[in-house]
Structure 1
């Protein structure tokens, strides 16, 4: 049996706008990871640990970007704006399909 690892936010589907890709970006927003860390090669246990840290960082803001302090809100907007631009260039469509 082979252990699955994360491909990294820069190699992830939809410009990294997957659950795991968003988690990595949120870790960047909160300074939990340096912006250079893509999490490529991380196993499920390590990603779970990151998820728990990111979840805890969001709690004081009710998990709402609009509740973030200005500096964090600006970081969030920058990271997600870049991701959305990349994803759209790759053909990502933010609309949900009938089966989603």
Structure 2
């Protein structure tokens, strides 16, 4: 499956919630496995309290489905508890990949 579009989502954990956010992100993988149009999905840590998700899709339809999917809903319900502010969601175009 080729990927033409993606999402780069970054967020900052509240003080003392870093480990809980990291565990949430690890567990979120299970929510994405069945998404037909999610080509790749990565959860990552940037530094002690900054985290992110990067994912790719074959087209805009897959990206929009993911934005309305289980991970987005789960993160939305936990955001007030775990995050300093709402996630920064940046749509991206995939230029090349291996």
Q: TM-score, normalised by structure 1?
A: 0.31
Structure with the higher strand share, 1 or 2: 2
Higher relative contact order, structure no. (Cα contacts within 8 Å, ≥ 6 residues apart): 2
Structure with the higher helix share, 1 or 2: 1
